Chains A and B, each alone.
Chain A
Amino acid sequence: MTVMHWRPAPPRTPGQPDQDRWPLLDDLLPAHDLAVADPALQAAQQALRALIDAAFAP
């Protein structure tokens, strides 16, 4: 029988950890710096928000 050790992780976003996030995503996706979005991704985000408007506030 061997022994395992616990290593706590630092808080994800100090002060305001998002309790509703989906933890498995961290293991499935590569890490990204969310503050540095590339223009194509910003465009994708804008388009998705436009789609939400088209669906719920046309």
Chain B
Amino acid sequence: MIAGRTLDLFAPVLMSLPQLVSPRAIPAPGTPLAEDGPFLAPAAHPDDPDRAVLVAVIDHAIPFAHPLLTTSAGLSRVAAIWLMDAGAQSRRPDIAFGQELRGPQIDALCRPGDPEAAYRALGLTGPGDMSMARHATHGAAVAALAAGHDPGGDAGRAHPVLAVSLPRAALTETSGSIAALFIQAAVIFVIARARALARQMSQRAGRRILPPLVVNLSLGITAGSDDGGALMTRLQDAISASTEPDLGQVHFVLPTGNHRQDCLRAHLAAGQRIGWTIPPADPTPNAVEIWGAPGECLPRLRIAAPQTVPVAVPLDRPGEGQLLDANGHRLARIVLQRRGGASGRGCLTVILPPTLPVDMAAPAAPAGLWQLHLDEAGPSGCDLFVHRDDRLSGLPGQGRQSRLHDPRHARQTEDGRWPLADDPATGSLIRRNGTASVYARGARQIRVGAACASPEGRVSAYTGLLPDGAPGDVTAPADASPARPGMLVPGVAPASRQRLSGTSLAAPQVTRWLAMALTDGAHIPDRQTLRAEYARRASTLPDLPWRDGFRHPDAAAPP
């Protein structure tokens, strides 16, 4: 039901599919039907199916032919990957666009001594799609951290991999709004293929095998329903809570996001006001959401653009309208909703057009300091969430982040340090608590913050915080130290490395840890148990094979 509702609500995204995925990804009439073959070569199946734990990675530009994702015999451990942007060379009844590959198909595309062969065969390294021609991608780092194992050993065979490579256009949109449909489809794909793979494993074993599944989703947004009511969190919670006859427990691992210090979150009581700084030369829209509490009255707002007289938004029931300047040009669009039914939360969304639109005839908002006056609100006040204007590392994008402005809020201390928590004594309306990604607000997801390797355990200053101020359920190192951000992680080519930072890298380390702990027989039914078990085993965070080097299967044997 939640999945179907997603399709209904995001129908406009589906209607825009030709603009959001590569034109080659939409199956042409007559595209041959793919055979429903095995997920893995027989020798790539887990040695001991009772200890197998499936790992799923949903990201962009995942190097599915990387040696870290193979067995010692060079066979792919990737049981299925949905390349949403790739040309549709064959068709499956449940793949709407792009191409699905199974392990044996990946094996057939790989060529010894030619690490790009599989990507080239799918058109992922040439004109139209260069995603796998780059040496470094977000998906390469995340997939390696979550599921990469030394191809010289067979530890990885216990962890068949499922993956979805999201389309580039959905991720270059800087607010993350368009990606939601693709992410939901990716989650559904992972569940469908995990269940089918588990059935194949049971068939091979001659008895019922129920492998657990750990899903890593290193993506996030900053605005939306932060109470777990968003469709994405509801779907993940529902999956984690359900018991399927052919699959073990499903865990979702997500980062808490990197926006603690970005002034994107505030809390206002009725009668208070806050500034909203809109940057110049921004080619993307800027938006803020103002959420009331469940069942309380709808928020009423007065708004002022730079150098204008404040105007009251005359919406007292759900509806929408535009703010125009004296010449009739649109300066803002404002939508009032009550989300989640009659007893749901009032949500007022203010959307400004770009300050420097690509089309010079399109509406443009004035840059500078806007003012938001919350004239009326319920007794609980309202939470403000500014949409992010960000993109994954390695992807092009020209968005410039708008921020809330309160003169009492200091982004840094006088000696240049980043404050870690809210200081009520300042009276600032801007909050650091509650800056965790809105995707990660479910009741069952595992939320992961970033920390420094040295001093060990120090939480990275950018890590988004849950409403109670915690940097997630657990943290994992994503920075060498406060002075040396980032960590060295694999790139696309077998020998390439990249330096990346952020909670996106912390989450897959916990995915990896959880998969290995479950393989070792740990019983981790919920995140409370995970916190305790993680604290107990923290010093045994799994080692990462590329730190000591690993043998490429093609390399000649040492003398």
Contact = CB atoms under 8 A, between A and B. Distances in A.
Contact of B318 (A17, A26, A34, A54): A17
B155 interface: no
Interface of A: 1-9, 11-12, 17-30, 32, 34, 37, 40-41, 43-45, 47-56, 58
A4 B309 contact: yes
A8 B287 CA distance: 19
A45 B322 CA distance: 33
B311 A4 contact: yes
Contacts, number: 172
B324 A7 contact: yes
Given A25-B12, A28-B178, A44-B26, A52 B4 contact: yes
B173 interface: yes
Interface stretch (B38-46, B91-99, B122-130, B413-421): B91-99
12 contacts: A6-B324, A8-B320, A9-B320, A9-B322, A20-B340, A23-B333, A30-B16, A37-B15, A48-B188, A51-B185, A55-B192, A56-B188
10 tightest A-B CB contacts, nearest first: A47-B96, A54-B192, A55-B192, A50-B94, A44-B96, A32-B15, A51-B94, A23-B335, A55-B191, A8-B321
B13 interface: yes
B108 to A, nearest CB: 24
Contacts of A22: 9-10, 177, 180
B18 to A, nearest CB: 8
Interface string B293-315: 00000000000010111010110
Given A24-B285, A47-B95, A56-B3, A2 B192 contact: no
B175 A48 contact: no
Given A3-B309, A19-B318, A27 B351 contact: yes
A54 B191 CA distance: 8
A40 B26 CA distance: 8
Contact of B349 (A11, A24, A37): A24
Given A23-B335, A25-B178, A41-B14, 9 more contacts: A4-B324, A8-B321, A9-B322, A19-B340, A22-B9, A25-B13, A41-B17, A51-B95, A58-B195
A28 B178 CA distance: 8
A58 B192 CA distance: 8
B307 A1 contact: yes
Given A20-B337, A44-B26, A49 B285 contact: no
Contacts of B349: 23-24
B32 to A, nearest CB: 15
A5 B321 CA distance: 10
Contacts of A40: 18, 26-27
A2 to B, nearest CB: 5
Given A24-B177, A51-B189, A44 B308 contact: no
A50 B177 CA distance: 24
Contacts of B19: 29-30
Given A20-B337, A21-B9, A52 B320 contact: no
Nearest to A33: B15
